[in-house]
Amino acid sequence: MEIIKNEKLYEGKVKIIYKTNEQNILWIEYKNSVTAFNGLKKDEIVGKAILNNKISSLIFEKLNEKGIENHFIKELSDTEQLVKKVKIIPLEVVIRNIVAGSMSVRLGIEEGTILENPIIDFHYKNDELNDPLITLSHIKVLKILEDDQIKEIEKKSFKINEVLKDIFDIAHITLVDFKLEFGLDEKGEILLADEISPDTCRLWQVDTNERLDKDVYRKNIGDLLTAYEKVYEKLKSK
């Protein structure tokens, strides 16, 4: 059946979500916006939407091939894709293989320090509160998830890390850390959703440690499009 784009459901910082004629399918359009520090730094970069859409689609397809179910259905155009509708769980699940970013600042550990084992941390997805780091007890106080759902998300996230690390390793990119979002589908099952791109991951080129992710924008240390294009070319050729 042909899927038709209907009214706008939600507009976020980098994506617009539309309903479709199918109740359980959403239409996503990537924008050229880039934001950092909870929207304090903001720009339009022509060409960014295409790269985010293409990279995220490619990664979700590769995850699917490796048995990691996710919301991605198909790419529609350079900047649009279809996804399964889920109710997003208000958590940003961060997995870290190497210390960087907020963890380095918060704990005073040098950026680049390799963690003996990957670690997970949770942020409460709430712009007004600035997405604070939260504990497992807080997740229960806020009634976001039950114990068994938290365990399931932890297990899935570490598994996704292993698969993603392989995908990036082959492309000579080090997966430093990344953020995942999960949702509940119509059956109440937990499904990987949102996007996986250089906006949501820290990606360092193997050997040189050249930054190939949004840190080039956050820290003004390079050209975002050049970095994202490198990621896309490296992933695509493998």
Give residues in contact with ligand TMP (CB under 6 A).
Answer: 92, 94, 100-103, 123, 131, 177-179, 200-202
Q: Which C-beta is closer to ligand TMP: that of 86 or that of 176?
A: 176
Cα distance between residue 106 and residue 10, in whole Å: 33
CB 131 to ligand TMP: min, Å: 5
Residue numbers 13-52 binding ligand ASP by CB under 6 A: 35-39
Q: How many CB atoms within 10 Å of residue 44?
A: 10
Q: How far is CA 223 from CA 16, 55, 77, 179, 218, in A?
A: 24, 17, 25, 22, 11
Q: Which C-beta is closer to ligand TMP: that of 57 or that of 200?
A: 200
Q: Which C-beta is closer to ligand TMP: that of 76 or that of 133?
A: 133
CB 232 to ligand ASP: min, Å: 19
Q: Which C-beta is closer to ligand TMP: that of 29 or that of 195?
A: 195
Choose the contact partner of 35 out of ligand TMP, ligand ASP, none; CB within 5 to 8 A by kind.
ligand ASP
Cα distance between residue 177 and residue 224, in whole Å: 18
Residue 123 in the binding site for ligand ASP (CB under 6 A) = no
Q: Per-residue string for binding with ligand ASP, 206-225, x by CB under 6 A?
A: --------x-----------
When CB distances to ligand TMP are compared, the closest residue is 101
Q: Which C-beta is closer to ligand TMP: that of 166 or that of 189?
A: 166
Q: What residue ranges bind ligand ASP (CB under 6 A)? A: 35-39, 131, 214
